[in-house]
Chains A and B, each alone.
Chain A
Amino acid sequence: MTVGSALERAAREDGPSVLATLVRHLGGDMALAEDALQDAYAAALATWGRDGVPDVPAAWLTVTARRRAIDRLRRTRALDERIRTLEALAERDGSATAPHTMDDDATSLTDDRLRLLFACCHPALSLPARVALTVKSLGGLSTAQTARAFLVPEPTMAARLLRARRKIAKARIPFEVPGDELLAERMRGVLAVVYLIFTEGHTASDGDTLTRPDLCAEAIRLGRLLTELMPDDAEAHGLLALMLLTDARHPARTGPDGAMIGLADQDRSRWDGAAIAEGSEALGRSLRLGAPGPYALQAGIALCHARARSFDDTDWDWIACLYEELHRIQPTLVVALGRAVAVSYARGPEAGLALLDELEGERALRGYAPLLAARADFLQRLGDGPAADAAYAAAIAASANAVQRADLAARRRAAGG
């Protein structure tokens, strides 16, 4: 293994833990922790080739980054409590450059990563900042990789991350697991950020390809981490189940030419059986922990699809029932649209259209491409060709994703023929 690939692996696997530990040692100063870790990576590149890759790269990176943090603090002459903490640790580290354990930190690593996660997902940060910071810090990605994942230029991403870290430091966003009175609310926020990373990867909202699997894989990694860190949170397991069961369909969602394949036409033998099994287990754990929340219900819907041998074989009555419950606890317009589609298969397109007519009144959904596409589909199934054609045209005009537009155009042609 080359030094470069050893370092990249250490950054991915150990980077988040090392960063989380550093942030704690530095009294919550995420910007300094990040800079010190980057210094340590640079030092590794220079010395690992000469001295060999250390046995425990995480320990080496932690010790080195701590020393670099002292240098940085000295340079800025911010001699305060942080430097005293670090100096005490440095004294204990002694002259050993390649310690074999993560010392006392090993036991508190879980807590450190959880603290880091809650800081990155703090609602005082803008949503794009939360999402980017979480992927970058907990995923161990470089700024360049994070920028690529979100399709923004690297300087834009660097500025976004810098601004977020500055706010964390200046506004003293706590590097703590919130107390009981805030925990439930903040946990919902953390789950929402992880799910947003997943959906951003699953259906890219803009751009020329339908999915960005890197982001999906990243979100699933974070989902697994969350269930490990918060094992008693039913919705954490529910979210992991939802992401796994949705991502299981990924290999069948696009054809060889990159075109989108709808659920009805997917080759179900290409669905990822291992992901379905893991998702099903996660959903089971979630249901044992408490009443199903929004993620568990959506995972239940996804599992129902996963278990159906074919589209026609799908238990639409049960899916419509799960959507009813989901709509009761989370009456969003997007859920209402899903419910209308499920009802159209369970009770016929007229019943689905009646629900869409109710939604059409909502201003936020006017010009919403998925709603227009659903209307076109219902009308086509009812045999109303001209109305379906007009609805397809409107849906194509409203969609911002090239692959989605091509799919709608193909469906429109098929309906016309």
Chain B
Amino acid sequence: MLLIYGDPSEAPAEAGSPEQIQRWFDYTRELEESAALRGGEALQTPDTATTVRVRDGETLLTDGPFAETKEILGGYYVIDVDDLDAALAWARKMPNIEYGSVEVRPVQRFE
């Protein structure tokens, strides 16, 4: 799984430009064409998040993300590739990689 993080205050002005958005579309299409793509979404900003916990049978809702951090989770892709180097190669090509970060995490399999 490729978890896409970034600090909105650190993002350059062109991060939301039509050219940059086109790069995201191109990247997604490249993943599709390589047959590696299993899923993925871009997420709304954390101020739209609601965090849910159940404690002692009581449901607790918090307005906001699980953790308040500067770098926020902006979206994710789930890909199926042979090994870590292949996953890292996709991470390195992420359109925001020069100002954001990508966390690569293996998916747990239950056999």
Contact = CB atoms under 8 A, between A and B. Distances in A.
Contacts of B106: 170-172
Contacts, number: 23
Interface in B55-111: 82-85, 88, 104, 106, 111
Contacts of B104: 171
A78 B42 CA distance: 36
A229 interface: no
Contacts of A182: 85
Nearest to B105: A171
Interface of B: 82-85, 88, 104, 106, 111
A187 to B, nearest CB: 14
Interface of A: 78, 122, 124, 170-174, 176, 178, 182
B84 A172 contact: yes
A124 B111 contact: no
Contacts of B85: 173-174, 176, 178, 182
A92 B106 CA distance: 35
Nearest to B88: A124
Given A173-B84, A174-B83, 18 more contacts: A78-B111, A122-B84, A124-B84, A124-B88, A170-B106, A171-B104, A171-B106, A172-B82, A172-B83, A172-B84, A172-B106, A173-B83, A173-B85, A174-B84, A174-B85, A176-B83, A178-B85, A182-B85
B86 to A, nearest CB: 8
For A124, A172, A178, which residue has the most chain B Cβ atoms within 10 angstroms? A172
B40 to A, nearest CB: 19
A296 B21 CA distance: 46
Contacts of A173: 83-85
A176 B84 CA distance: 11
Nearest to A122: B84
A122 to B, nearest CB: 7
A7 B40 CA distance: 53
Contacts of B82: 172, 174
Contacts of B84: 122, 124, 171-174
Contacts of A172: 82-84, 106
Nearest to A182: B85
Contacts of B111: 78
A178 B85 CA distance: 8
A247 B111 CA distance: 51
Contacts of A176: 83, 85
Contacts of B88: 124
A125 to B, nearest CB: 10
B85 to A, nearest CB: 5
Nearest to A78: B111
A172 B85 CA distance: 9
A357 to B, nearest CB: 35
A42 to B, nearest CB: 29
A170 B83 CA distance: 10
For B82, B84, B104, B106, which residue has the most chain A Cβ atoms within 10 angstroms? B84
Contacts of A170: 106
Nearest to A186: B85
19 contacts: A122-B84, A124-B84, A124-B88, A170-B106, A171-B84, A171-B104, A171-B106, A172-B82, A172-B83, A172-B84, A172-B106, A173-B83, A173-B84, A173-B85, A174-B82, A174-B84, A176-B83, A176-B85, A182-B85
Contacts of A122: 84
Nearest to A124: B84
For B82, B85, B106, which residue has the most chain A Cβ atoms within 10 angstroms? B85
B55 to A, nearest CB: 31
Contacts of A78: 111
A219 B84 CA distance: 27
A182 B89 CA distance: 10
B91 to A, nearest CB: 11
Nearest to A173: B84
A81 to B, nearest CB: 13
